[in-house]
Chain A
Amino acid sequence: MKNKESNKYLDMELLRFTTAGSVDDGKSTLIGRLLYDSKSIFEDQYEAIKRVSEKAGDEQVNLALLTDGLRAEREQGITIDVAYRYFATPRRKFIIADTPGHIQYTRNMVTGASTANLAIILVDARNGVVEQTCRHSFIASLLNIPHLVICVNKMDLVNYDENVFEDIKKSFKNFAAKLEIQDINFIPISAKFGDNVVEKSKNMDWYQGSTLLYLLETIHIGSDFNLIDCRFPVQNVIRPQSDKYHDYRGFAGRIAGGIFKPGDKVMALPSGFSSKIKSIDTFDGPVKEAFPPMSVTITLEDQIDISRGDMLVRENNVPTVSHDIDLMICWMNEKKLNLNGKYAIKHTTKEARCIIKDIKYKVDINTLHRIVDYKEIGLNDIARIIIRTTQPLFFDKYKINRTTGSVILIDEATNETLGAGMIIR
């Protein structure tokens, strides 16, 4: 970008987070509070929901209305789909994937979680850790969201009692020991009154930690991408064929892992041919290095045959190259998963076909138990399956790299996206 050194707007980072909670946990109120207290709600939006709230006879302005956009949602008072919300502070810009708390929950939370750096899980202080909490945490861990924030909400209804908070913290930690979550934070809040959301609570002197907004603004997200294993899935081949760039042949794509530099020796998959990086080009000139999630164009010293769906990697650090893949799948369609069924599969920039070879077990997402005797996989189910693809995929474990470790399955007849897969091996 131009003016790079001189501009303050380039100091801001982007944090994507998702919010989870069941219907009455106060999730919409919390989002409304974050937007309202950080002055991200505009007057005309506020006036509009105030009018609707008054019409419905609500005492307080129903901040939840900010997130329900579609006609059917307003008519039925439910949220149907993932809604994306935006707000910014001088430190960071935030993208909230707001997911509904009822039916279709799993499908929507998985969608929202797939791009999130952080998940907020709301726990009602009166009810403590419940089945829903476990389900949400499991999905956060399954989708490998790097940071988890447990907001113990409605502290006003338990007299802002420290013991209530500590008990919930303890029981959550006991449960979370079963999950792989890198970073867990706990904050006692009252979304309704704003305690510890944007402003520090005057009712909870015993809490020394930061407010939710401060945590969102400062949590370290610099190492959320894999900077070790070099992965560059090729999106397009750029051949200007103009007089000035007569022999130019560049490979466009977004870095999925590792740090690439000119002069690096790289290998192309699936061909196995090696070359050296000649340049890493952008519209604003060549760069000295490229890292995730930069979009760049790489040129090589040698003319080797590379096309969309191929991947540039380092010779001494290659992903798994295989037809047979073991993965967790979240099913997102009413049409059930079909053992031995054939589907289209998308992985990085590659598209292939696959067959479902085995359904190993289904996960009871409330208890985390494996169900092995009942293997019908329908909407919102999560299961471990084995697939075989028509062409080998070049992949990593999802836990190591979210980009090279994820796939979607597509119905070949209707073209609908049916399932989201996280590769185990």
Chain B
Amino acid sequence: MIKYNLSHLEELESESIFVIREVCSQFQNPALLFSGGKDSIVMFHLARKAFFPAPPPFPLLHIDTGHNFIETLEYRDRIVQNTGVRLVIGSVQESIDKGRVTEEKGYNASRNMLQTVTLLDTIEKYKFDAAMGGARRDEEKARAKERFFSHRDEFGQWDPKNQRPELWNLFNGRKNIGEHFRVFPLSNWTEMDIWQYILIEDIEMPCLYFSHMRDCFTRDGVIYAKSEYIPMKTNEIIENMRVRFRTIGDMTCTGAVLSDANSVEDIILEVSATRVTERGTRADDKRSDTAMEDRKKEGYF
């Protein structure tokens, strides 16, 4: 007898494809936020599946802090070349040059907060009415209450206490002029699901996720890659370490983990044994207990 039920990954895949297709039907001009991290890579893979044999009918939108790992940019450009997808870039440097934002100063300066302004400006400039993001509800407690279709007012703000109820698979993307939506097709995926899916789908990943030797230094318990964007304190020493990255953001706020994991299988084993959340390596979340919620309200990813 044939079993008529899907595995958990097949069901998640099907749900995400449904959501991505809804976005294209309910909005005029959507974009897919692409950071070069694993979640946005999986989301783009699902978008290709959703419209096959046609290409996804929307561009990738990369908010470029100017503080990228070079490996991330190489990966991004390779994806663009291989699939022919259109790429739109919002540049934080440009926002700084135009005086829209002011660069943070000091040792822990990061462009992470500045991205929000660039993102909202870019959404306005290209008149995107929906931006799909790879955020997952298991990542962070403020995200656990996020909807698949998340309404943003004309200032790009999120109002967590006044979210639309979301029932069954009936997504309400109606909005007034000037408002937009953030849509999170991977809401129900966990870090483990993402890696298992990458394994069975055989999706190529940026090399940063795998173990490699790198010059690093440690600050407040976080291992940072040596880079021209992070000024070092006099007592900090560069060490050559065997590391990999669990998440990939810009260089100033992405911490590495010591790891020998060399393949997706190794990473799955590492993730199942690990006792710290992936955002535990993110300096941007350590600023306060509700750092994510505060940034999200303003219009962060």
Tell me the A residues contacting B by CB distance below 8 Å: 1-4, 7, 9-14, 42-45, 48, 66-72, 74, 80-86, 88, 92-93, 95, 107-108, 110-111, 114-115, 221-222, 225, 227, 235-236, 238-242, 244-245, 248, 250, 252-254, 259, 281-284, 289, 291, 293-295, 297, 308, 332, 344, 346-347, 349, 402-403, 406-408, 410, 415-417, 420
Contacts and interface: CB of A to CB of B under 8 A. Distances in A.
A346 to B, nearest CB: 5
B202 A2 contact: yes
A42 B144 CA distance: 15
B63 interface: no
A360 to B, nearest CB: 22
Contacts of A67: 144
Contact of B51 (A80, A110, A238): A238
Given A42-B277, A72-B161, A410-B174, A1 B53 contact: no
B13 A1 contact: yes
Contact of B280 (A44, A80, A238): A44
A2 B199 CA distance: 9
Given A282-B52, A420-B167, A88 B190 contact: yes
A70 B276 contact: no
Contacts of A415: 172, 174-176
A293 B165 CA distance: 22
A40 to B, nearest CB: 9
Contacts of B187: 84
B18 interface: yes
A291 B169 contact: no
6 contacts: A12-B8, A69-B145, A235-B18, A293-B14, A293-B18, A417-B172
Interface string B98-141: 00000000000000000000000000000000000000011011
Contact of B169 (A7, A252, A254, A282): A254
Contacts of A293: 6, 11, 14-15, 18
A408 B193 contact: no
B183 interface: no
A83 B10 CA distance: 23
A252 B15 contact: no
Given A281-B53, A293-B14, A406-B167, A7 B176 contact: no
B277 A235 contact: no
Contacts of B15: 293, 295
A358 B71 CA distance: 62
Interface string B1-45: 011111111111111011001101100000000000000000000
A12 B7 contact: yes
B164 A88 contact: no
Interface string B283-294: 000000110011
Given A14-B12, A44-B280, A235-B18, 8 more contacts: A10-B10, A42-B276, A71-B293, A252-B21, A281-B52, A283-B48, A294-B6, A407-B170
B277 A85 contact: no
B166 A111 contact: yes
Interface of B: 2-15, 17-18, 21-22, 24-25, 48-55, 137-138, 140-145, 160-161, 163-170, 172, 174-176, 187-188, 190, 192-193, 196, 199-202, 274-277, 280, 289-290, 293-294
Contacts of B137: 84, 86
Contacts of A88: 190, 192
B288 to A, nearest CB: 10
Given A44-B276, A72-B161, A111 B167 contact: yes
Given A346-B170, A406-B168, A295 B4 contact: no
A14 B25 contact: no
A83 B25 contact: no
Contact of B200 (A10, A242, A332, A416): A10
B193 to A, nearest CB: 7
Nearest to A297: B52
A394 B56 CA distance: 29
Contacts of A402: 168
A347 B172 CA distance: 11
A115 B168 contact: yes
A282 B168 CA distance: 24
A235 B21 contact: yes
A370 B165 CA distance: 26
Nearest to B16: A295
B281 to A, nearest CB: 10
A344 B276 CA distance: 45
A256 to B, nearest CB: 9
A3 B168 contact: no
Contact of B293 (A14, A70, A222): A70
Nearest to B4: A291
A238 B17 contact: no
B163 to A, nearest CB: 7
A9 B13 contact: no
Contacts of A115: 167-169
Scoring B5, B144, B165, B193 by chain A CB atoms within 10 A of each residue's CB, the highest score goes to B165
Given A403-B169, A415-B172, A69 B144 contact: yes
Given A3-B202, A10-B200, A84 B188 contact: yes
Nearest to A293: B14
Contact of A9 (B48, B144, B199): B199
Nearest to B163: A81
A10 B277 CA distance: 24
Given A9-B9, A10-B200, A236-B25, A283 B160 contact: no
Contacts of B293: 69-71
A23 B138 CA distance: 24
A70 B146 CA distance: 11
B18 to A, nearest CB: 5
B170 A406 contact: yes
Q: Which of B3, B141, B161 has the most CB of A within 10 A?
A: B141
10 nearest A-B residue pairs (beta carbon): A69-B141, A240-B54, A283-B49, A14-B8, A415-B174, A295-B17, A114-B167, A283-B52, A93-B8, A43-B275
A307 B257 CA distance: 50
A314 to B, nearest CB: 17
A107 B274 CA distance: 37
A297 B14 CA distance: 12
A71 B290 contact: yes
Given A2-B200, A254-B14, A416-B164, A236 B21 contact: yes
A131 B59 CA distance: 53
